[in-house]
Structure 1
Amino acid sequence: MNIEYLHYFLDVAKTKSIAQAAKLNFISSQGMSRAMGELEKELGCQLFIRYSNKLALSPAGEELTDAAARVVDDYNALLDLAAAKAQPDHAPCGSLLLDCQNVATLAFFPQKAKDYLLGAREIIFRESQNSQIRQSLLASCAERDGDALPAVGLFCFFNQERHSEDEGLAALEEHGFRYRPYLRTFDKAMVCAASPLAQKDVLTDADIATRPIVATNSHLYTVLSKRFGRDAIALSSANFALRRQMVEADSAVSFLPAIAELTTPEDGGYVLRPMERPYEVEIGFAGRERDLEAPAFRALIDILDGFYGAHQDAGLYTLCG
């Protein structure tokens, strides 16, 4: 089960609105509707009663809300425990929880930044998805007077209509968080190095559609399904090793932000090719002002500034600062 769908379900149950929950989670209404349909199919029961002008929880949906909340809470507790155990010793006072969107983690951090994140005792690093990061930040806010760590989230937005993002970010800002966009880039197609597609300088939509498409997550799934149709997408998975294996076998096409050319060395199995109609990817950080200025986080930003400042002429991104 996609744990993110349970986050979505709880937001739909709370707001009684597909559109409102979609905005909170930075996805389209169509993407939220699809996610709820897939969750209902997997659970084998109807979660909502859909009227012409409103949405209500079904009796089963009412009963499952508390159970879904417990699953989400237990999952978050598991991640917190795993993050703590991953540290060589007890985290020192002033440590920072850095919750990172998994696609951004893969493509955004250069090796020096990855080495820093894995070696810094002051940072507890965790990969998540946008909706989970938002929940984690809000939880840290609620527990700020207790033992919760300072927290910063790294978000990744795929070509969304801006109002879909602004609503979710505004919900964070209401609780004292600030969003700082860092850079904007664009996706490239990830194809088998031995494929005829690898010989082309630019790929058209028709070129890409000659292979099944493997999307990275629900956000990108929405973008790609609008463009290529849902039947063209064979799989939606955050597992990069799986996507890469399928691409290298020439059984699928996937996608990575263009900045991956700088941060993820190609080793012969796959190559990145520009698309005739690329879509934008925005990467940015959200946190409380004092957390965004924490020494451990500023050290990471200094590494990123040094790296991306030196590669601006590559034409693969624009800095937002």
Structure 2
Amino acid sequence: MRFEALEYFTAAAEQGSFTAAARQQFVSQQGLSKAVAALERELGCRLFERDGARLRLTDAGRALVPHARQCLAARDDLAAAMRPFARAAGPLNRPAASPPVLHAAAFVADSLFSLLDRELTAAGLDDVAIIEHSYAEIMGELERGGTDAVFALCLPLDEARELARAPHVAFRPLFLTEIMLAGSSRFIRPGKGAFSLERVAELPVAYYNDAVLNWIVRDMFRDCPLENVITHASNLTRIANYLTAGKAVTFTDSLSVFLSQPDERLAYAPIEGAARFCMGFAHRSDEAPDAAALAYVERFEACFRARCAAYLADPAHQPAA
């Protein structure tokens, strides 16, 4: 049992939300959720139930809270007791280097970093603190200045071109991707071609609530609005349940499809006239960026290009220089 999982559990119990707990712990929401799910499997019981938009502790969860806090307190007491015995000099007494800090749009943290989890771990790139922000917050920080932060964000192509032209911003585009459709065989049969926007608009849809994705979807369907939205929320588990039960389709993108593990319950299809967007890294060009974060970005880009060489071989996925 990992102390990290107990920390995430107690944070979620106190905050009543995986999203709020992840923000407090400086990790992605999906990473925190996965750690809690692994703890539930290890203990053999459910610790949380959904109560509307909030998490509710189960009886097992309520019973675990004091024990988890006791374990974490014991860990801290042990570290404090050993500190006086640490050698005054030498490698064991040198403080560990702080992990690099990357500021990311929630959609990027929940998708790209999770999909590349295995590769990033193998490359030693999993030791990074990811602080999530809304798209508006990131753009505001880049506009105001006075920050050395490095941001990871995705945005529509027109906005990416404008950001690349901004005199006060250094923008490093990494890849382009396009919206695709995902669903069960009830709705999608592989090899049957692309769906028209009009056809998609008639289907039951469950999709992720993110400011940039909302913007992209609204623009895609401006002439034929979605007629049957079953859920539009940041609850990935609920959306996945709708998909696998054959109750709805959802929106994904070509890179996510490329990186996803095969799942016989799901199929994917292109959409005619689908919106495309760009993912990249940005920081102020008139101020010195966080050196550790920038070094991390360079290593991340190298790891991404190695893993996604086949994806980037398609010119449609290559950002303009």
The answer as to 2:135 corresponding to 1:130 is yes
SS of residue matched to 2:306 = helix
Q: Distance in 2 between matches of 1:118 and 1:102?
A: 23
2:37 is matched with which residue? none
Q: Distance in 1 between matches of 2:132 and 2:220?
A: 23
Q: Distance in 2 between matches of 1:79 and 1:173?
A: 32
Alpha-carbon RMSD: 3.9
1:285 is matched with which residue? 281
The alpha carbon displacement at 1:189 in A equals 0.7
Alignment of 1:56-205 (within 5 A): 81-83=24-26, 92-93=97-98, 95-103=100-108, 105-107=110-112, 109-115=115-121, 120-121=126-127, 123-135=128-140, 141-142=145-146, 144=147, 150-158=148-156, 162=158, 169=163, 176-192=168-184, 194-199=185-190, 200-205=192-197
Structure 2, unpaired ranges of 5+: 1-18, 33-78, 80-94
The alpha carbon displacement at 1:225 in A equals 4.2
2:44 is matched with which residue? none
Q: Distance in 2 between matches of 1:237 and 1:316?
A: 30
Structure label with greater radius of gyration: 2
Aligned-residue sequence identity (percent) comes to 15
| Kept after mapping to 1: 8 A contact 2:182/2:250 | yes
| Kept after mapping to 2: 8 A contact 1:154/1:283 | yes
- Residue type at the aligned position of 1:235: T
Structure 1, unpaired ranges of 5+: 1-75, 145-149
* Residues 314/271 of structure 1: CA separation in 2 closer, same or farther (3 Å cut): farther
2:11 is matched with which residue? none
**Over residues 6-36 of structure 1, what are the superposed CA-to-partner deviations in whole Å (9 max), with x where a residue is unaligned?**
xxxxxxxxxxxxxxxxxxxxxxxxxxxxxxx
- How many residue pairs get aligned? The number is 229
1:307 is matched with which residue? 307
| Kept after mapping to 1: 8 A contact 2:305/2:312 | no
Q: TM-score, normalised by structure 2?
A: 0.57
* Residues 82/178 of structure 1: CA separation in 2 closer, same or farther (3 Å cut): same
| Kept after mapping to 2: 8 A contact 1:225/1:232 | no
- Residue type at the aligned position of 2:129: I
SS of residue matched to 1:151 = coil
SS of residue matched to 2:289 = helix
**Over residues 112-156 of structure 1, what are the superposed CA-to-partner deviations in whole Å (9 max), with x where a residue is unaligned?**
4543699643x21134431233346568x54x5xxxxx5221221
